Amino acid sequence: MSGAVKTTCREALRAAIREAMQRDSRVFLMGEDVGEYGGCFAVSKGLLDEFGPERIRDTPLSESVFVGAGIGAAMNGLRPIVEVMTVNFSLLALDQILNNAATILHMSGGQFNVPLVIRMATGGGRQLAAQHSHSLEGWYAHIPGIKVLTPGTIEDFRGMLWTALEDPDPVLIFENALLYNLEGELAEDAGPVDISKARVLRSGTSLSLFSYGGSIPKTLEAAVQLESRGIDPEVVDLRTLRPLDTATIIDSVRRTHRAVIVDEGWRSGSISAEIMARIMEESFYELDAPVARVCTAEVPLPYAKQMEDAALPRVETIIEAAMNVVGGNG
Are 130 and 300 spatial neighbours (Cβ–Cβ below 8 Å)?
Answer: yes
Q: Is 83 a catalytic residue?
A: no
Among the listed residues 11, 32, 63, 83, the single catalytic one is 63
Q: Is 257 a catalytic residue?
A: no
- Cα→Cα distances 241→164, 274, 318, Å: 14, 10, 20
DSSP state of 61: S
| Strands lying side by side in the sheet with 27-31 | 56-58, 27-31, 79-86, 117-122, 171-176, 147-149, 240-242
- Cα→Cα distances 210→128, 238, 263, 285, 292, Å: 27, 7, 8, 19, 10
Question: How large is the C-alpha radius of gyration of the chain?
Answer: 20
Tell me how far apart the alpha carbons of residues 138 and 147 are, in angstroms, rounded to a whole number. 12
Amino acid at 215: S
- Provide the b/e sequence for 141-179 (b: ≥16 CB within 10 Å): bebebbbbbbbbbbbbbbbbbbbbbebebbbbbbbbbbb
A 10 A CB-CB count for 191 gives 12
Tell me how far apart the alpha carbons of residues 218 and 221 are, in angstroms, rounded to a whole number. 5
A 10 A CB-CB count for 99 gives 11
User: 175: closest CA among 13, 65, 25?
Assistant: 13
Are 96 and 73 spatial neighbours (Cβ–Cβ below 8 Å)?
Answer: no
Among the listed residues 11, 32, 83, 132, the single catalytic one is 132
Question: What residues are annotated to the active site?
Answer: 63, 132
